[in-house]
């Protein structure tokens, strides 16, 4: 594994006050209990990697945090404000949470630039000129500035995912959620996306990242949260988690992916 870059050194980055706080969150899909008494606090500037077997509830956890899914009980608060049920307050809070999906989810019939300007103009009321300036800067930052006028399908998967990151950042989120952002990518494109994520982490972005990329976790995460069967089974720093997990379930999982 290439470990060439300067380490952002998670341990030395300052961690602030609690930003995303889940308390006693429960969620069912019909009779299926997908989230069981989830308690999780993510502080400002913290990078948390969520790892666990398929079906353990990782995506559902992400989706509840920006209210793409409702919860049955418990509370979710972002920056001290409890997630409201609906309305403008919800739209505002949702803008605080940037989300990047496995499948990019770009608007297929809009140019790369339009993909990034749409949210800021429609939701945040930015002028078209201001949104374009901002979008161009973000596309530059993720290394795809020269693709601005193309349609998503004309880009590689790695480029599309970097556009998706730029699009999320254009809303000035307080926290970024990544749900297996590199799982749909060809191997040679994984690092170009992870590099952008590592640099975001180094700049102090608060991030919740569902991934099995151990290299990313080691480089950038303050904490690894291991989920199984809808529960948080174990939490520890990446080094401890990957070398000496304390639960049998984590040991079993790691023996399958490593």
Q: Residue numbers of the site for Mg ion (CB under 5 A)? A: 58-59
Nearer to Mg ion, 51 or 148 (CB): 51
56 binds, among ligand ADP, Mg ion, none (CB under 5 to 8 A by kind): ligand ADP
What span, in angstroms and rounded, lies between the C-alpha atoms of 230 and 34?
A: 5
Residue ranges that bind ligand ADP, judged by CB under 6 A: 29, 32, 34, 52, 54-60
Least CB distance from residue 254 to Mg ion, whole Å?
18
Least CB distance from residue 112 to Mg ion, whole Å?
26
Nearer to Mg ion, 58 or 223 (CB): 58
Nearer to ligand ADP, 73 or 127 (CB): 73
Least CB distance from residue 153 to ligand ADP, whole Å?
26
Least CB distance from residue 227 to ligand ADP, whole Å?
7
34 binds, among Mg ion, ligand ADP, none (CB under 5 to 8 A by kind): ligand ADP
Nearer to Mg ion, 28 or 212 (CB): 212
Name the residue number minimizing CB distance to Mg ion.
59
Nearer to ligand ADP, 68 or 95 (CB): 68
């Amino acid at each position: 594994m290439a470990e060439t870059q300067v380490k952002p050194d998670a341990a030395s980055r300052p961690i602030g006050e609690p930003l995303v706080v889940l308390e006693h969150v429960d969620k069912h899909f019909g009779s299926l209990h997908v989230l069981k008494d989830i308690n999780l606090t993510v502080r400002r500037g913290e990078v948390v990697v969520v790892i666990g077997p398929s079906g353990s509830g990782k995506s559902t956890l992400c989706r509840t945090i920006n209210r793409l899914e409702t919860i049955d009980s418990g509370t979710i608060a972002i920056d001290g404000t409890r997630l409201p049920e609906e309305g403008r307050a919800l739209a505002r809070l949702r803008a605080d949470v940037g989300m990047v999906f496995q499948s990019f989810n770009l608007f297929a019939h809009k140019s790369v630039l339009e993909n990034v300007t749409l949210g800021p103009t429609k939701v945040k009321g930015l002028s078209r000129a201001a949104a374009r300036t901002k979008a161009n800067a973000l596309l530059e930052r993720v290394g795809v500035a020269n693709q601005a006028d193309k349609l998503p399908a004309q880009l590689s998967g790695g480029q599309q995912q970097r556009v998706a990151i730029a699009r999320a950042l254009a809303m000035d989120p307080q926290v970024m959620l990544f749900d297996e952002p590199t799982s749909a990518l060809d191997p040679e494109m994984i690092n170009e996306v992870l590099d952008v994520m590592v640099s975001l982490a180094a700049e102090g972005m608060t991030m919740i990242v569902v991934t099995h990329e151990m290299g990313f976790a080691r480089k950038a995460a303050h904490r690894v949260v291991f989920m199984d069967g809808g529960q948080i089974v174990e939490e520890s720093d990446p080094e401890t988690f990957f070398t000496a997990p304390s639960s049998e379930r984590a040991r079993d999982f790691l023996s399958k992916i490593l």
